[in-house]
Chain A
Amino acid sequence: MDLMRMVTVNRVWRSIVRHGVIATNRNRAMLVMENVFLHLHSVKVRRRNLELSSTYYLGGISLILFLLLTLTGLYLMLYYHPSVPQAYDDMKELQFAVSNGVFLRNMHRWAAHAMVFVVFLHMLRVFYHRAYRPPREFNWVVGVILLLLTLLLSYTGYLLPWDQLAFWGVSVGTNMVQAMPGVGPRLRFLLLGGNIVGDNALIRFYVLHCVLLPLGLTAGVAVHLWRVRKDGGVAGSVHRQAFQAARRAADPRRGRNGRRASEDRGEGAP
């Protein structure tokens, strides 16, 4: 379209976007390599990793849910005061007075439950596909840490509405912490900022939920994805790998490097 050409063929555009819009392999590579938000991706991926049965997209869905939770959480933070009893009044205000308050709160709550569930499913998928084998062992451990951070994020957020469900749910949990031998009571005192679930507990859980744990999770996700890159991409299923390797070895159309000539010309799938 002439409009596209008008927008993209000028000095201002060229100073911001350094690759062309035309679909060549060079421009595709430059888009991923030179964009700070996209450059965590590799320039090329294995076609089999794009299939549903390879990963069921569970890792990606976990990340998407985290981004949605951050966004809806930011909105909710604008009307929420972490003090007693203001917090509960703010929940009522979100429910009745704020435009789209109910919708955004619901999005946040259901995305939180979904994320805990999806992260657990992701762990099971990686396990049953045996994608934790060397050199990916430590990435599995990073994943377990991310699972714990997700549970903690959900738990700290649970207290914030300051209703009966929140208060007693957290009371039960912190009493379980107290049962730890030796450090239990001290840990509970630190967590609650006192002996009871009150004002101090609310502000501590708020700071944990909105600042510390999200930062921790972001750092963990960065390490997790970086290691996926360095380990040569997503592992997919070990069973499928063996099956497809055997099938490809028998394919007469493939050259010695395992690729078809059409891919080297940049045409992608036939």
Chain B
Amino acid sequence: MKPCILVEDSDAKAVPKRIALIRREAPARLLDHGDEFVPSAPHLLMQEIIVLQACIVLLAIVSLLFDAPLEGIADPYHTPNPAKAPWYFLGLQELLHYFPPVVAGVLLPFLAVVGVAVVPYFRMNVEVSGFYEAPWKRPLALLTILTAGISALLVVYHVWPVLIPTVVVYVLVVLPALAFCPAGLSRRLSAIPMSDWIMSWFVAVVTILTTIGVFFRGPGWSWIWPWKDGIY
């Protein structure tokens, strides 16, 4: 067979070119997953009706057993102690305990919302193979510096509830790179992409802060133990 000749011509009509750009994280693959399709009516509609009924029944049972709170009429001259926001804002209110209002009330929520919103536009190391193989020193060093910086800030402001999950997540990420880590654990931990670690860290921080705000804060925003002092 004669060897192929390379023809270089910028005229696309004379010499048609086909170029496919395959990015690393989006390899070319067959679009047809071989999925089985079923008609929406009745399968999906019936499922929706059943879930609707289950929700109504569950909600009705809870509504019959537990009453919504109603305290005394609003009195602008008497602040209750403690004055707590609705439960989904108590994480923020707990953060207000450590940082000034500009940071805890405006900056951090804004960063959180923007951070969550841009998730799909950042290819944050979705494939993990690069992180633990050589050259892993550079990304690991970057991560260490970042974590050290955040931890220092947290220590300065005494924000222990956020410091603890930060340290835990950092240790779990770094563990597979250490020699004494058992192989099974190393394999499972290193399979988790960085984006998942960051989101898990965020969820852990939000959950811990909200839990503290709901159960562990009493009059004057002091620390209480709910099993001893009750829930405020």
Measured CB to CB, the residues of A under 8 A from B are: 23, 25, 28-29, 31-32, 38, 41-48, 50, 57, 60-61, 64-65, 68, 84-85, 88, 91-92, 95, 102-103, 105-111, 113-114, 116, 123-124, 127-128, 130, 132-134, 136-137, 140-141, 144, 148, 151, 154-155, 158, 161-169, 171-173, 175-177, 179-181, 184, 196-198, 241, 244-245, 248-249, 251, 254, 257-260, 263, 268-269
Contacts and interface: CB of A to CB of B under 8 A. Distances in A.
Given A28-B42, A64-B55, A124-B203, A45 B37 contact: yes
Interface in B100-133: 100-102, 105-106, 113, 116-117, 119-121, 126
B11 interface: no
Interface stretch (B84-92, B134-142, B166-174): B84-92
B62 to A, nearest CB: 5
Contact of A31 (B41, B88, B102, B119): B41
22 contacts: A45-B43, A47-B35, A48-B35, A50-B47, A64-B52, A103-B64, A110-B62, A110-B63, A130-B126, A137-B120, A140-B120, A144-B116, A148-B113, A154-B88, A165-B70, A167-B75, A172-B84, A173-B89, A176-B106, A181-B106, A184-B106, A258-B35
A259 B199 contact: no
B200 to A, nearest CB: 9
Contacts of A144: 113, 116-117
B74 interface: yes
Contacts of A132: 119-120
B55 A154 contact: no
Given A57-B51, A136-B120, A103 B63 contact: yes
Given A57-B51, A161-B70, A258 B34 contact: yes
9 closest Cβ contacts across the A-B interface?
Answer: A258-B34, A167-B74, A179-B101, A106-B63, A248-B34, A176-B105, A137-B120, A109-B68, A168-B83
Contacts of B37: 44-47, 259, 263
A176 B101 contact: yes
B26 to A, nearest CB: 8
A164 B86 CA distance: 12
B198 to A, nearest CB: 10
Name A's interface SS: helix
Contact of B55 (A25, A68, A91, A259): A68
Contact of A41 (B30, B44, B64): B44
Contacts of A103: 60, 63-64
B120 A128 contact: no
A181 B102 contact: yes
Given A41-B44, A68-B55, A254-B34, A105 B119 contact: no
A48 to B, nearest CB: 6
B184 interface: no
Interface of B is mostly: helix
A197 B69 contact: no
B70 A163 contact: yes
A84 to B, nearest CB: 8
A165 B33 contact: no
A179 B95 CA distance: 14
A45 B37 CA distance: 5
Contacts of A241: 33
A176 B68 CA distance: 26
B210 to A, nearest CB: 10
A88 B34 contact: no
B146 interface: no
A136 B78 CA distance: 50
Contact of A110 (B30, B42, B59, B106): B59
